[in-house]
Amino acid sequence: MGSTADKNKNIIPEGFLFTQQSLSTFSNCPLKFRKRYIENLKWNSYPDEDVKKRLDMGNDFHLIAHRYFLGINDEWIEDEELNRWVQNLKSSFPINKDNIYLPEYKIRMADTVIRLEANYDLIMVKDGEIEIWDWKTHSIKSEHAKAKKRASFLNKLQTIVYMFVLKEQSRLINGSNTQCHQISMNYWQPDPPGIIEKIVYSEERHRLFKEEIESRILKIMDYDYIEFDKANYTEHCKICEFNWFCNNQKVDFKALEEDEDFLDSLRWED
Ligand code: SF4
C-alpha cells in the first residue's frame, strides 16, 4: 500500500500528453492542474450570455476557417460581424493551389522527457517554408490588457510549444528536415484583419524553448501535492472555476473575460 506522500506524487498517468494549456494551468495553480487534467473536472457553465455569444462566434469562425481551407465555401453567414470576419479571412488568404493547407491540425511528439500535443488553427506550407497561423478572435477590452497581450507573444507558452513541436516533427509536414529560420508563427485577427504578431524561429529559440518545456514538465512530474499551499495562488483564484470549491467565493467574471488561457481552454478541451 502506498504512503500518503506517494498518493500525492507521481500522479501523471502513463502516456499523458502535455499541452500549452495544461502547462500554463500548472503555473497558475498546481491544484487547478490536478483537478482539470488528472481528475478531469471541467468547467461546464459560462459567465453570462454576452460572453457565451462571443465564445460561440469565435468557435464558429474557427469552424468556417477550417472548412474554407478544406475547400468548402460558406457563401453567406447570417451574423453580420461573423460574416465580415469570414470575408476578411478570405481576402487575406486567397487559396493558392501551390501551397499546402493543414487546418485544425494536431501534432504529437514524445521523447524521454517531453511528451506534447499541439493543436494548430492552420499550418501552411509555402515555398518550402512552414507558417503557423493562429486566429485570435477574443475581444480584449482594456488598454492595459491589450498592451500586455502584445508584449507577451514571444514568451507565450503557446508560441513556445507550437514552434518547438512543429520543428521537431517538421519532416512529417514538409517531407524533409526544415530549418528553424523557415518556420514562423503568426497571430492573426479577423477584424480589423491583420497580423498582430509574427515570430520567426531560430536555432537559439529552439534550444531555449526545449529547456523551458523540459523544466516545466520535470517540475510537474516531480511535484508533491502534499506541499500545496493555496495561499501562494490567491491572485489566480478569482478567475478559477474552482474558486467556490476552494474558497467559497464566486468567480470574477469580468477578469475571466480577459483571461486568454481560459478562453482557449474552452475551445480545445471539450
Ligand atoms: S481556486 Fe485557487 S487554489 Fe483553488 S484550484 Fe483555483 S487557483 Fe487553485
Query: What CATH number belongs to 19-268?
Result: 3.90.320
- Mean local confidence (pLDDT), 136-150: 65
How far, in Å, CA of 79 to CA of 57, rounded? 9
Q: The cell 478567475 sits on which residue?
A: 239
pLDDT recorded at residue 10: 73
pLDDT reading at 117 higher than 90: yes
246: cell is 476552494
Atom of ligand 1 nearest to the CA of 247: 1
**CB neighbours of 111 closer than 8 A, spacing ≥ 6?**
none
End-to-end CA distance of the chain: 35
Q: Check residue 2 and give its pLDDT.
A: 47
* Boundaries of every domain in the chain: 19-268
d(CA 19, ligand 1 centre) in Å:
20
pTM of the model: 0.89
d(CA 71, CA 195): 23
- CA 136–ligand 1 middle distance (angstroms): 27
Q: How far is the CA of 243 from the centre of ligand 1 (A)?
A: 6
Mean pLDDT is highest, among 84-93, 169-178, 243-252, 261-270, for 84-93
36 lines ligand 1 (CB under 6 A): no
